[in-house]
Amino acid sequence: MVSQVDIAVVGVHVLDTHVLGVTSIPDGSEGQLVETIKISPAGTAGGTAVVLSRLGARARSYGAVGADALGDTLLGLLKTNGVDIAGMVRTTASQTSASVIPVRPNGDRPAWHCPGANATLTLDALDLDDIARAAHLHLGGPEFLGGAAAATLLKHAKDHGLSTSVDILAGGNPGLLAWIAEALPHTDYLLPNDEQVLGFTGATDLEAGARALLEAGAGCVAVTRGGAGALVVLPEESIAVPAYAVDVLDTTGCGDAFSAGFILGRTLGRDLTASARLGCATAAQVAGGVGTDAGSYDLAAVEAFIAQNQGPG
């Protein structure tokens, strides 16, 4: 049963505020009417946990939020979406991480972001033995823990029989890759986007960049490519999976949705192609709404969507 798949999700949890219909920033203290303002749970851990729960997994979140109203709201939204929040900690040292995302009519979505409590999370705040009871560990934002701590967490999981995945929040640059390098040999699935791959490695070819990340220690690199879908790269092969054609409203959280679908597919024993298709199809559900928690899908609905669209590739 899918409901029995237990996935621990550790790392970045953010409260997003989406503002749709932003054409410009008003001058001075002037105001401007917009189409929609919506809040949603997000982050490379929080958003992924929400989508995993939607797909029927038992998603357990581990991270840090502030002792503030933003934290109350974020934890409430996670819980409403079926995420187990027993592993979340609260801190008075920093506010809850939050973003404001103005979405322009053409779909562009710049952001104002406050890292907040995510930067306070340490290994000491995590119950490693509790995490090790899961079938899979997903670490979102290893750069906040740092490479040594992330490596300790991932190695502990692998030593206890879990598979592991990592999604990096920050943009790609070689210095950041060096910062988290110790974690890569304990990472079964690295889940970057295309810009990160090229930025981390300096490569001009996406597959070559992904292979450089394999050489750095990752077991498999599954790269999201926006409207082009995903590229899954192993030492012996590469698999291109196109995106599904949908009416896109907001792409915020699509990467996290891909991660959730891909992780669930692999944890259920599906092959890499089927898992990447599930990831792309799940991202398509999110793209049609606002925020990572958009849509009313479940695993059966996503699988029906794949069947109706005959699957990409």
Q: Lowest mean pLDDT: which of 76-90, 95-109, 140-154? A: 95-109
Characterize 239-277 residue by residue with b for buried, 16 or more Cβ atoms within 10 angstroms of its Cβ, and e for exposed: bbbbbbeeeebbbbbbbbbbbbbbbbbbbbeeebbbbbb
Question: How confident is residue 311, by pLDDT bands cut at 50, 70 and 90?
Answer: very low
Question: How confident is residue 106, by pLDDT bands cut at 50, 70 and 90?
Answer: confident
144 pLDDT exceeds 60? yes
18 pLDDT exceeds 60? yes
119 pLDDT exceeds 80? yes
312 pLDDT exceeds 60? no
Give the CATH number of domain 6-11+45-63+122-309; options: 3.40.50.300, 3.40.50.1820, 3.40.1190.20, 3.40.50.720: 3.40.1190.20
Q: What is the per-residue pLDDT for 1?
A: 41
Tallying the residues shown for the chain, one arrives at 313
Q: Where are the domains of the chain?
A: 6-11+45-63+122-309
Q: What is the per-residue pLDDT for 47?
A: 98
Q: What is the per-residue pLDDT for 3?
A: 44
Give the mean pLDDT of 233-247.
95
Across the strands, what pairs with 61? 9
Decide the pairing of beta strands 220-224 and 189-190.
Answer: parallel
Looking at the chain, the whole-number percentage of residues with pLDDT higher than 70 is: 98
| pLDDT (tens digit per residue) in 163-181 | 999 999 988 888 889 999 9
Q: 106 vs 149, which has greater pLDDT?
A: 149
Give the mean pLDDT of 154-165.
99
Average pLDDT, the chain: 95
Q: What is the per-residue pLDDT for 160?
A: 98
148 pLDDT exceeds 50? yes
Q: 252 vs 65, which has greater pLDDT?
A: 65
310 pLDDT exceeds 90? no
196 pLDDT exceeds 80? yes
Question: How confident is residue 313, by pLDDT bands cut at 50, 70 and 90?
Answer: very low
Q: What is the per-residue pLDDT for 254?
A: 93
Q: Please count the helices (runs of H) and the strands (runs of E) in the chain.
A: 11, 13
Q: Which residue has the tokens 């069947």?
A: 307
Which SS3 state, helix, strand or coil, does residue 106 take? Answer: coil
103 pLDDT exceeds 90? no
The helix or strand, by DSSP H or E, that contains position 175, with its residue range, turns out to be helix 174-179
Q: What is the per-residue pLDDT for 272?
A: 98
Question: How confident is residue 101, by pLDDT bands cut at 50, 70 and 90?
Answer: very high
Report DSSP letters for 278-306, one per residue: HHHHHHHHHHTSSSTT-S---HHHHHHHH
Q: What is the per-residue pLDDT for 39?
A: 97
| pLDDT (tens digit per residue) in 201-222 | 999 999 999 999 999 999 999 9
Q: 306 vs 170, which has greater pLDDT?
A: 306
CA distance 138 to 11: 9
CA distance 78 to 67: 16
